[in-house]
Chain A
């Protein structure tokens, strides 16, 4: 099971340091991210961390697994400045649920 439960997906230069954690690190480029993540889910990966820049590309998958307990698909910052997409995503989720933007004071 080692390295199978946790996978980190992203561009080579961004996710390479994560090799130090012992997690499974997978390099992807724009375009093949969706297949990679789908493959990982089929293999039974529980947590998939992906870098923020792929959030758009993966939006269908994110929507599909929104109501399931597993897998956990979590965007992580790519380390190149603040893209804020991930925070925007949570904000959207909360806005939809609560009906008000309670993340607001952060701005």
Chain B
């Protein structure tokens, strides 16, 4: 009884192991794709942000500090983020889309320097890339977590559960054949005794 049950369990474990292994491979393939995209994007953003900040500092050093504050307060833009989730291998991946309304430049040109316009425009363009980066990095993190979990499961199945089931099956098989042999010799012995008495 137990032997049959264990054999079934062993089969299920092996099938599960194969599935999980496939899942792990697929996750790995995807994470590699993301890694390259994220690296490119991050480096580009870093570069652009630095130049935008450069313009901004330059502008704010040229004009009165109050003027910068006022100019920024006059920006009438608002950004709406809509979010949906996508599923990759049973993982919920966030997707963002943005809706922008309002105007970027709502301040007077007299009290502010031209560099401020440049800086703000650059940063404004950056925001969609930052959203993309947010999306990608979150996905990467979730994928990495899932890989870790899957790897642990694969290893547990491969090195612990399946070998232990196999060992138990082997033990039961040995015991059963041992019992069978015992029965057989006992039978032969009894037959011999009966025959010698006749």
**A22 and B134 within 8 A (CB):** no
Which of B11-19, B44-52, B173-181 forms part of the interface with chain A? B44-52
User: How many of chain B's residues have a CB under 8 angstroms from any CB in A?
Assistant: 56
Are A70 and B94 in contact (CB-based, < 8 A)?
Answer: yes
Point out the residues of chain B lying under 8 angstroms from A5, CB to CB. 79-83
Q: Are A103 and B39 in contact (CB under 8 A)?
A: yes
Chain B residues within 8 Å of A82, by CB: 46
Q: Is the CB of B31 within 8 A of A97?
A: yes
Task: Decide if A22 touches B81 in the complex (CB within 8 Å).
Answer: no
User: Judging by beta carbons under 8 Å apart, are B78 and A2 in contact?
Assistant: yes
Q: A97-B148, A98-B147 are in contact. Are A17 and B119 (CB under 8 A)?
A: yes
Complex-state Cα separation, A107 to B92, whole angstroms: 32
Q: Determine if B93 and A69 form an interchain contact, defined as CB atoms under 8 angstroms apart.
A: yes
Q: How far is the CA of A74 from the CA of B53 in the complex (A)?
A: 19
- Cα distance A102–B119 in the bound complex, in angstroms: 34
Nearest B residue to A74, CB-CB: B134
Residue numbers in B under 8 Å from A3 (CB-CB):
78-79
List residues of chain B with CB within 8 A of the CB of A86.
42
Does A59 interact with chain B (Cβ within 8 Å)?
no
Are A21 and B124 in touch, CB under 8 angstroms? yes
Is A87 part of the binding interface, using a Cβ–Cβ cutoff of 8 Å? yes
B161 within 8 A of A: no
B68 to chain A, nearest CB (A): 8
Chain A: minimal CB distance from B113 (Å): 14
In contact, A94 and B31 (Cβ under 8 angstroms): yes
Q: Name the contact of A21 in the complex, choosing from B50, B54, B123 (C-beta under 8 A).
A: B123
Which of B96, B104, B134 makes the CB contact (< 8 A) with A49?
B134
Query: Given the interface contacts A79-B49, A90-B137, A96-B144, does A20 sit within 8 Å of B79 by beta carbon?
Result: no
A77 / chain B contacts, CB cutoff of 8 Å: 45-46, 49-50
Contact check, B53 vs A79: say whether CB atoms are below 8 A apart. Answer: yes
Contacting residues, chain B, for A97 (C-beta < 8 A): 31, 143-145, 147-148
Beta-carbon contact of B145 and A66 below 8 Å: yes
Report whether A74 and B137 are in contact in the complex, using a CB–CB cutoff of 8 Å: yes
- Taking a contact as CB atoms under 8 Å apart, the answer to whether B130 and A67 are in contact is no
Write out, one digit per residue, whether chain A residues 87-104 have a CB within 8 A of any chain B CB (1) or not (0): 100100110111000110
Could you list 11 A-B pairs, sorted by A, with CB under 8 Å? A1-B80, A2-B79, A5-B83, A17-B72, A17-B120, A22-B102, A23-B79, A46-B81, A72-B135, A72-B137, A98-B28
List A residues at the B interface (Cβ < 8 Å).
Answer: 1-3, 5-6, 14, 16-23, 46-47, 49, 66-67, 69-70, 72, 74, 76-77, 79-80, 82, 86-87, 90, 93-94, 96-98, 102-103, 106
Known contacts A3-B79, A72-B94, A77-B50; 10 further A-B pairs (Cβ under 8 A): A1-B80, A5-B81, A5-B82, A6-B79, A14-B53, A22-B100, A49-B130, A67-B142, A69-B92, A94-B35
